[in-house]
Amino acid sequence: EEVLREKDNDGLTCAHYASEGGHMEVLRYVVETCGEEVLREKTNDGSTCAHWVSFTGHLEVLRYVVETCGEEVLREKDKHGRTCAHLASEGGQLEVLRYVVETCGEEVLREKDND
């Protein structure tokens, strides 16, 4: 369990990497072993697993993170003021962006960095 919680030099855990890569089975294993709080762990720049997966576009994984942690993870901002909507847009992930808007409402699109 301890090794699954370890962070690299950028503050990423196994859960961040599994989310980014869309590796649902690995992510479920990490959560079952360490608890759902690993999904809320922040990197050095304040990014959660939801941020990482929003950028890379693995919608099934993002849905799992939201079902496990609640929709508030979609509204969290990293240290640069970016939400999951910002990162989905930056990554060109239209389906993820639609999901974020459907879940949080259109006001999430009007949020500005660091508001």
Domain CATH code at residue 48? 1.25.40.20
Dihedral through CA 106, CA 64, CA 80, CA 75, nearest 10?
40
User: What is the secondary structure of 45-90 as a DSSP string?
Assistant: T---HHHHHHHHT-HHHHHHHHHHH-THHHH---TTS--HHHHHHH
Domain-located, residue 55? yes
Look at residue 106 in the predicted model and tell me its pLDDT.
87
Domain-located, residue 115? no
Domain-located, residue 73? yes
Q: How many domains does the chain have?
A: 1
* pLDDT tens-digit series, residues 35-92: 999 999 999 999 999 999 999 999 999 999 999 999 999 999 999 999 999 999 999 9
Domain-located, residue 102? yes
Domain-located, residue 114? no
Look at residue 38 in the predicted model and tell me its pLDDT.
97
- The answer to whether the beta carbons of residues 53 and 61 sit under 8 Å apart is yes
Domain ranges, residue 36: 2-107
Domain-located, residue 81? yes
- What does the alpha-carbon distance between residue 103 and residue 64 come to, in Å, rounded to a whole number? 13
